[in-house]
């Protein structure tokens, strides 16, 4: 055991980008950014009645390893987990799971949820988990006021107050809405994925809270990759994935109204099976193998195709890309050998398989915004 610990220490010392801090408190560099997208999992925390010290969690994680048969979700040490339910988001039916103690840490437990089918090649496994945590370190009372503090390292997040409470303060920038049952909800994204300490103070209110017409914008899991080909041809390969919760036997492919792709294809990511696209003058739809009938169900879809609409071109020695983006997450992947020199919106710069990319996260409620990008040959 000691030999393993020594080997791990040596490896950490040899890593030029270990992250963390030095003994003097200065920061160590982290590795270069290589992920095209973040925020794949969504987590919602519903604070329960005052004095319960408990909150109900809704968690939607994904598993991309082909052949995987289960998805694990650990309970943070010090939080007591109970009332666990696991569902298949495709059918809405319950899934088998085990809730087990970690052999090496008695304070840590984990949910091991059985996936409906092994993750298919080219597909994505997913589950819908509900669980209740009791944690007096997180949820406490200050007189009659609620204080809720938790370090959230997730990406797309929501926090719901109990009915009859209003915010005194919240230390994160967030969208605020009123749900159909009269509860106030914060919704926000944590683009870095690093620890994000959140503190909420709330007090009782007798005000009648009416539902707002907009919903949690960060629940939307759409992500779109614009893979730029040869700039002299101006060809863009598009890969978009998202979940559709609208009830019915078919999914309306709204994206094809603004992504004009004659070769468009759609795949059911739960099974990796292609779906047939039906087109009318106004809409494009894809028939679902499992119709959506209740709120636990959704279709997880991938749309791919090629754009050649003039939004990407070569002007002299400069690569130029200008496009109206929609949705929360959009990533532009440059051709090999090009470096970005300007981008009009805030984005994270990284490298994927030797190619530079810019990952944009739309933190504003407006669903569309214009992005202008310029690049030069390395």
pLDDT tens-digit readout, 249-303: 999 999 999 999 999 999 999 999 999 999 988 899 999 999 999 999 999 999 9
Q: How far apart are CA 290 and CA 274, in angstroms?
A: 14
Query: Which tokens in the block code for residue 334?
Result: 């440059």
Residue 11 has pLDDT above 60, yes or no: no
- pLDDT tens profile 84-138: 999 999 999 999 999 988 787 777 889 999 999 999 999 999 999 999 999 999 9
Comparing 18-32, 165-179, 244-258, 261-275, the range with the smallest average pLDDT is: 18-32
Do the domains at 42-204 and 223-377 have one common CATH topology? Answer: yes
Query: Which tokens in the block code for residue 70?
Result: 């289960």
Residue 7 has pLDDT above 60, yes or no: no
Residue 167: closest CA among 133, 209, 197: 209
Q: Is 361 exposed, middle or buried (0-12, 13-18, 19+ CB in 10 A)?
A: buried
Residue 238 has pLDDT above 80, yes or no: yes
Q: Where are the alpha helices (DSSP H) in the chain?
A: 2-14
- Other beta carbons less than 10 A from residue 26's beta carbon: 7
Give the pTM: 0.91
Query: Which tokens in the block code for residue 196?
Result: 């994000």
Q: What confidence score (pLDDT) does residue 15 get?
A: 86
* Between 141 and 195, the higher pLDDT residue: 141
Note whether 183 and 44 are within 8 A (CB).
no
Note whether 175 and 146 are within 8 A (CB).
no
| 22-49 mean pLDDT | 92
Name the CATH architecture for the domain at 42-204. Answer: Sandwich (2.60)
Residue 134: closest CA among 100, 70, 84, 181: 84
Residue 39 has pLDDT above 80, yes or no: no
Q: How far apart are CA 328 and CA 257, in angstroms?
A: 18
CB < 8 Å & 24+ apart, contacts of 174-178:
175/214, 175/216, 175/217, 175/218, 175/365, 177/212, 177/214, 177/215, 177/216, 178/209, 178/210, 178/211, 178/212
- Other beta carbons less than 10 A from residue 171's beta carbon: 12
Q: What confidence score (pLDDT) does residue 13 get?
A: 58
Residue 156 has pLDDT above 80, yes or no: yes
Residue 9 has pLDDT above 70, yes or no: no
- Label residue 190 by pLDDT band (50, 70, 90): confident
CATH number of 223-377: 2.60.40.3650
Domain residue ranges of the chain, discontinuous segments joined by +: 42-204, 223-377
User: Mean pLDDT, the chain, as a whole number?
Assistant: 92
Q: What confidence score (pLDDT) does residue 4 get?
A: 45
| 160-164 mean pLDDT | 97
* Between 327 and 191, the higher pLDDT residue: 327
Within 13 A of 292's CA, how many CA atoms are on the CB side? 20
Q: What confidence score (pLDDT) does residue 195 get?
A: 77
């Amino acid at each position: 055991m000691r030999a393993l610990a020594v080997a791990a220490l040596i490896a950490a010392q040899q890593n030029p980008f270990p992250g963390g801090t030095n003994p003097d408190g200065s920061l160590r560099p982290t590795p270069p950014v290589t992920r095209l997208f973040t925020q794949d999992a969504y987590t919602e925390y519903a604070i329960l009645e005052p004095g319960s010290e408990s909150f109900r969690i809704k968690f939607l994680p994904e598993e991309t390893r082909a052949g995987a048969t289960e998805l694990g979700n650990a309970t943070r040490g010090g939080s007591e987990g109970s009332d666990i339910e696991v569902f298949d988001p495709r059918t809405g039916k319950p899934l088998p799971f085990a809730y087990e103690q970690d052999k090496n840490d008695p304070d840590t437990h984990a949910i091991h949820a059985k996936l409906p089918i092994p993750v298919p090649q080219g597909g994505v496994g997913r589950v819908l988990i509900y669980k209740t945590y009791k944690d007096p370190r997180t949820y406490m009372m200050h007189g009659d006021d609620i204080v809720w503090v938790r370090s959230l390292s997730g990406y797309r997040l929501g926090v719901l107050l109990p009915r009859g409470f209003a915010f005194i303060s919240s230390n994160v920038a967030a969208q605020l809405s009123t749900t159909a049952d009269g509860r106030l909800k914060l919704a926000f994204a944590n683009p870095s994925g690093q620890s994000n300490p959140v503190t909420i103070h709330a007090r009782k209110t007798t005000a009648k809270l009416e539902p707002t017409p907009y919903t949690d914008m960060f629940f939307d899991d759409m992500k779109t990759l614009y893979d730029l080909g040869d700039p002299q041809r101006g060809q863009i390969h598009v890969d978009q994935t998202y979940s559709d919760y609208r009830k019915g036997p078919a999914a309306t492919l709204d994206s094809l109204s603004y992504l004009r792709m004659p070769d468009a294809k759609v795949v059911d990511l739960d099974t990796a099976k292609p779906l047939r696209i039906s087109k009318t003058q106004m809409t494009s739809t894809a028939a679902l193998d499992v119709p959506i009938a209740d709120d636990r169900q959704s279709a997880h879809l991938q749309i791919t195709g090629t754009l050649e609409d003039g939004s990407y071109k070569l002007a002299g020695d400069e690569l130029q890309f200008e496009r109206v983006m929609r949705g929360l997450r959009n990533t532009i992947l440059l051709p090999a050998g090009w470096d970005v020199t300007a981008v009009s919106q805030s984005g994270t710069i990284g490298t994927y398989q030797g190619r530079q990319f810019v990952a944009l996260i739309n933190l504003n409620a407006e669903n569309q915004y214009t992005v202008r990008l310029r690049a030069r040959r390395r």
